[in-house]
Structure 1
């Protein structure tokens, strides 16, 4: 919702921004090029629009991959030993960036390499504690980058990302020598992010705020120190995404002069923006997740993958994650 050292996704956005700043086709604008100019402006805006739509489905996918535990239920907090644990999670989520590629193509800069898709990293710290009296457990996961500058990439890009999430699981079966552990649960994630860039030629920003609610079921079984697991999850999200771009610097004056000369004719469009506020219970994202955990005394290592069953065919939306925790 976007990572960070700098995400591959951010690198894609930097490349797009750099292409806007190059301004090669802007140097040849005349009063006779209104149609072509505005067509390009539409395609740039369309590229940002497509990218914002991809964020709306990819950010929830990346978020819910961050608090996956191999055990479907970790046990009671008040016991000997108490059941709790925490650590760090890192993951990669595949995102369709063809919208960014189309925007770059519209700018006529073929030497800028924008791929149709990228894998961007996500990381969180999380803590899970066992329940009291009832057989449940509770987890909270957080990530905050603060504002970061990436001027070393050739553009004044700022990134600011936040993730906060929590879930609760109830054990239908606590498991045993033969029986697996089976739990059902529900969770919530809030993701907020800003990608911003500015130069002498243009300014562009993408902002997203995504609220994700989900329900899930999970089954796991431990064999010695190895715990394979599989689960199903259904997501529904509320997205408040926006983007804007505008030419700046010398091009603003040049475009204004041309527009003044056009009088009542169609004008050159030197900017674009869009804001969406969406929530749709019909847009449920069904997921399947699976993986394996390895436990050595108090050290727990988990590998997992998640596929979005609704978007895997058209957007290739899937994630992989690894977690390293201390747990009792």
Structure 2
């Protein structure tokens, strides 16, 4: 009997480390699935942040506007749940309890200028969320975020706003978005095993989901000035070439040099990320209302992604002449 108990104890001691290990092949495949799942949501996030203004056109040169936009769009939470299941950690309740998806906040300084001699206006936007700024989200959501966003848009007017006719324009834009969301986890393993025998040890890990996308956006918009109000509606299609994936924020030790040499893994002082290429597009509708106080405009907008059933919303405050 003692021999049986001794064998059982030894078997348990041998098996325990296995529960603390992740196979790199599982990590790679789960984040490849994540990249596919978010490929249609990333162009939406890129297009919805900044330059969503009430006016379908800015009048010719020297008319211009400059302001600040803040926004949030949601990414379907199923993409995150699949990774958590594959890697054996628990998602924060802020994600699992939400029916809307994972919020991706953003902001951009945006500006538009009417061009001389030709009936176009051109817009530009830029946003930068540092890790320290992203930490401010942690207290309310359990998430931290960082990103860089930059974009341009050119619009051509089809109709002028007069009598019962609204202003109508079509636009073509490009946005670069590079971002990540990190979340606290429980239950994640503390070691990753690679096919060549290399290992990485991860201490105090947080799950990281990261993406980079180049998005092209086509849009049409109509607006109508009604005294101090300007309601507007629009539709667009965005397509993005993305590189998405994830990993951990953690203290990394082990065969770091060998892993970097032999696998498509980005390792930094803060952790590591595994990327996969993905592409996709989505249709969206947007609309809102601005309050016009002489040259000051306060703009509210809402967005809906038909392809992913994701939501978005934003606020813009600007000076426009």
Q: Same fold (TM over 0.5)?
A: yes
Q: Is it true that 1:300 corresponds to 2:297 in the alignment?
A: yes
Which ranges of structure 2 fall in alignment gaps of 5 or more residues? Answer: 1-10, 184-200, 256-270
Alpha-carbon separation, structure 2, partners of 1:307 and 1:225: 26
2:61 maps to which residue?
77
Call closer, same or farther: CA 1:245–1:120 in 2, change over 3 Å: closer
Q: Is it true that 1:56 corresponds to 2:39 in the alignment?
A: yes
Residue 284 of structure 1: which of 255, 278, 281 is its match?
Answer: 281
Alpha-carbon separation, structure 1, partners of 2:146 and 2:90: 30
Which ranges of structure 1 fall in alignment gaps of 5 or more residues? Answer: 1-27, 254-270
Q: How does 1:1-328 map to 2 (within 5 A)?
A: 30-32=13-15, 48-49=31-32, 51-65=34-48, 66-78=50-62, 83-101=63-81, 103-104=83-84, 113=93, 114-115=95-96, 117-148=101-132, 150=135, 160-195=146-181, 200-202=203-205, 205-245=208-248, 274-279=274-279, 283-312=280-309, 317-328=310-321
Shift of residue 201, structure 1, vs aligned partner: 4.2
How many correspondences in the alignment?
270
Call closer, same or farther: CA 1:187–1:296 in 2, change over 3 Å: same
TM-score normalised by structure 1 residue count: 0.68
Q: CA RMSD in A?
A: 3.8
Contact 1:52 1:241 in 2 (8 A): yes
Call closer, same or farther: CA 1:86–1:162 in 2, change over 3 Å: same
Q: Greater strand share, 1 or 2?
A: 2
Alpha-carbon separation, structure 2, partners of 1:112 and 1:302: 33
Alpha-carbon separation, structure 2, partners of 1:151 and 1:305: 24
1:5 maps to which residue?
none
Call closer, same or farther: CA 1:147–1:246 in 2, change over 3 Å: closer
Tell me the SS of whatever aligns to 1:73: coil
1:8 maps to which residue?
none
TM-score normalised by structure 2 residue count: 0.70
Call closer, same or farther: CA 1:188–1:38 in 2, change over 3 Å: same
Larger CA deviation: 99-108 vs 227-236: 99-108
Tell me the SS of whatever aligns to 1:171: strand
